[in-house]
A = this chain, B = another copy of it.
Amino acid sequence: MNKPNKISIIGVGLLGGSLALALKRKRGVRVVGWNHRASSRRKASRVVKVARSFDQAVQGADIILLSSHSASIAAALRQILPFLDKQTLVMDVSSVKGNVVAEALRIPGIEKHFVPCHPMAGKEKSGPSHADPALYEGRTVFLTPLPKTSPKLLKRAAQFWKSVGALPLVMDPLGHDRQVALTSHLPHLLAATLVSLYGRQQKKTPLLGRAVGSGFRDFTRIASGNPQMWSDIVEMNSRELRPLLSTFRENLAILERNLGKGRPSFWRSFFNNARSVRERL
């Protein structure tokens, strides 16, 4: 990899903070961070050197990481554009890529710098205080290049992710969005819906909490995610999520029709299949 002198992390939260910690271990790398809010800069300063100003944070950077929600990436790209050197590589880490790519295409010249990325890494807890230098180890990072992204730039992006232990995988943005709709966004909606239903029932039957076991906790863990981030995600990926939700509802209707009809072989085959898929994950 082109040894980067300066790596700027704009938006030092869980993902950005974890990158900072992973990068700080390396030689020949200078990491600086920036958050727009002063209170967030104070928190960030525990895991990374915080620049004195936004300009100072991005000026002369070899690599700029935009570590914020999908909905904010286009504005961030415009904001950093005047500061980019010829060789600056820009990446983001947001969860929905179709809109990010579409908006980036409207920013002249950005394709020489920007490689949209999405690491399959995270926790329910946000903020740099939960940052973990091993967060990316062994995790897939999707790279969804723009149509004119040069192979050289794409390779630099891939090498950057390898350097923090991640497994880069190039994919078209809409294919990416369809996949994460199924593996991430739909489960999030299901968990949040179940938890909401539970909350309403629990008001009527306070002892309901005693019927909560480890399975329910595991199942609903993702519902603790950041509400603003998830609001952005479902809005930006609504095109993929709508037909998927519809399919899921139809699948539930099939189950409903088979309940209480004395069809043990239907149920055994349903649960057998689910278990065998789950065990191959």
- Of the candidates B184, B199, B227, which one forms a contact with A268 in the assembled complex, judged by CB atoms under 8 Å apart? B227
Check A55 for interface membership: any CB of B closer than 8 A.
Answer: no
Q: Looking across the interface, which residue of chain B has its beta carbon closest to that of A268?
A: B231
Are A274 and B223 also in contact (CB < 8 A) when A194-B187, A245-B259, A252-B248 are?
yes
In the complex, the answer to whether A182 meets B210 with C-beta atoms within 8 Å is no
Q: How far is the CA of A201 from the CA of B244 in the complex (A)?
A: 11
Check A84 for interface membership: any CB of B closer than 8 A.
Answer: no
Residues of B within 8 A of A210 (CB): 120, 140, 142, 167, 169, 179
In the complex, the answer to whether B186 meets A248 with C-beta atoms within 8 Å is no
In the complex, the answer to whether B179 meets A211 with C-beta atoms within 8 Å is yes
Q: How far is the CA of A271 from the CA of B126 in the complex (A)?
A: 15
User: Least Cβ distance of A247 to chain B in Å?
Assistant: 7
In the complex, the answer to whether A270 meets B192 with C-beta atoms within 8 Å is yes
User: Least Cβ distance of A265 to chain B in Å?
Assistant: 9
In the complex, the answer to whether A281 meets B248 with C-beta atoms within 8 Å is no
In the complex, the answer to whether B273 meets A199 with C-beta atoms within 8 Å is yes
Residues of B within 8 A of A192 (CB): 270-271, 274
- Of the candidates B208, B248, B259, B268, which one forms a contact with A242 in the assembled complex, judged by CB atoms under 8 Å apart? B259
User: Least Cβ distance of A215 to chain B in Å?
Assistant: 4
Q: How far is the CA of A221 from the CA of B281 in the complex (A)?
A: 10
In the complex, the answer to whether A183 meets B197 with C-beta atoms within 8 Å is no
Residues of B within 8 A of A184 (CB): 211, 213, 215-216
Q: Looking across the interface, which residue of chain B has its beta carbon closest to that of A189?
A: B255
When each residue 245-271 of chain A gets 1 if its CB lies under 8 Å from chain B and 0 otherwise, what string results? 111110111011001101110011011
Residues of B within 8 A of A202 (CB): 277
Segment of A10-18, A38-46, A73-81, A232-240 engaged in the interface with chain B: A232-240
User: Least Cβ distance of A279 to chain B in Å?
Assistant: 6
In the complex, the answer to whether A259 meets B278 with C-beta atoms within 8 Å is no
Check A112 for interface membership: any CB of B closer than 8 A.
Answer: no
- Of the candidates B120, B207, B245, B268, which one forms a contact with A179 in the assembled complex, judged by CB atoms under 8 Å apart? B207
Q: Looking across the interface, which residue of chain B has its beta carbon closest to that of A243?
A: B256
**Chain A interface (Cβ within 8 Å of chain B)?**
120-123, 139-140, 142, 167, 169, 171, 175-176, 179-180, 182-184, 186-199, 201-202, 205, 207-225, 227-228, 230-232, 234-235, 238-239, 241-242, 245-249, 251-253, 255-256, 259-260, 262-264, 267-268, 270-275, 277-279, 281
